[in-house]
Amino acid sequence: MSNNYFGSTFFGVARRNDFVSAVHSLLNSLRPEWQRGVFAGDNLITFGKNLSFRFDQPFMKALEEHASDGVEKSIIWRTAILVWAARNGLRREGDFVECGCYRGTSSRIICDAVEFNRTDRTFYLYDIFDYPDGSTHTKMPGMGPQLYDEVCRKFETIPRSRVIKGKVPEILTSDSPDRIAFLHIDMNNVAAEIGALDLLFERVTPGGMIVLDDYGYLPYRAQRDAERQWFAERGYDVMELPTGQGLVIK
């Protein structure tokens, strides 16, 4: 397996060919011994790294099976962070929760990588799946009345998974776990994400893992500001990761 990983997706690029050419020119300017451990994708370019997740066989097998397009493959480092958090979550009491599961790809990779079927936990996956008129959520490709059924089929072999259609945070008041060991929030919507924290944070077990997607991305600065303040008021400091995620260990 190559030491390097090149994703096909960079967000916000106007002239992709020019950008990719510039990236390769930059990397070619390095000393030969530093032209290894290169990662380029998902708005992250780095070199001389171990990229240990590339040699995590259960993770890579799950990624190859379930990541079906350029975006899902380019965000491999983000997904590796989720798998790391999920594995650590298994050391704590509670279920797994993802608010904003979209196609369910990241959570399906987690299930395979951590052998979720061998646990006694339940994985709760929430999303609106469709895109109603007037919604303030970010509209993603593939959203529509068919997406819910597609995600349900993706989790048919994970008996202790629950794919739940509804608007967060409202749906959480009627259908959510009492104890949480792993919480992933990815809704690109300030009100929804703060609402999820309001309802779920107290249920996260001490030592439980919380990952906030897009926390470090400039287009979602309002989301970061609100969450940073929310956690600060409770004595927590969110770690902004180079992947653009935010990480909190309760």
d(CA 243, CA 214): 8
d(CA 27, CA 24): 5
Could you read off the pLDDT of 171-215 as tens digits, one per residue? 999 999 999 999 999 999 999 999 999 999 999 999 999 999 999
More confident residue, 132 or 39: 39
Residue 99's pLDDT band, with cuts at 50, 70 and 90, is very high
pLDDT of residue 131: 78
Structure tokens at 104: 């369910």
pLDDT of residue 187: 94
- Domains of the chain, first to last: 5-46 (no CATH), 56-249 (3.40.50.150)
In the predicted model, is pLDDT for residue 140 greater than 90? no
Indicate the average pLDDT of the chain: 94
Backbone angles phi, psi at 231, to 5 degrees: -70, -40
In the predicted model, is pLDDT for residue 137 greater than 70? no
Share of the chain above pLDDT 90, in %: 84
Could you read off the pLDDT of 27-84 as tens digits, one per residue? 889 998 898 899 999 999 999 999 999 999 999 999 999 999 999 999 999 999 999 9
Counting Cα atoms < 13 Å in the Cβ hemisphere of 132 gives 7
Quote the pTM value: 0.95
What mean pLDDT is predicted for residues 136-154? 87
Question: Strands of 5-6's sheet, edge to edge?
Answer: 5-6, 39-41, 44-46
In the predicted model, is pLDDT for residue 1 greater than 60? no
In this structure, what DSSP letter does residue 147 have? H
Could you read off the pLDDT of 216-239 as tens digits, one per residue? 999 999 999 999 999 999 999 999
pLDDT of residue 2: 64
Lowest mean pLDDT among 64-68, 91-95, 137-141: 137-141
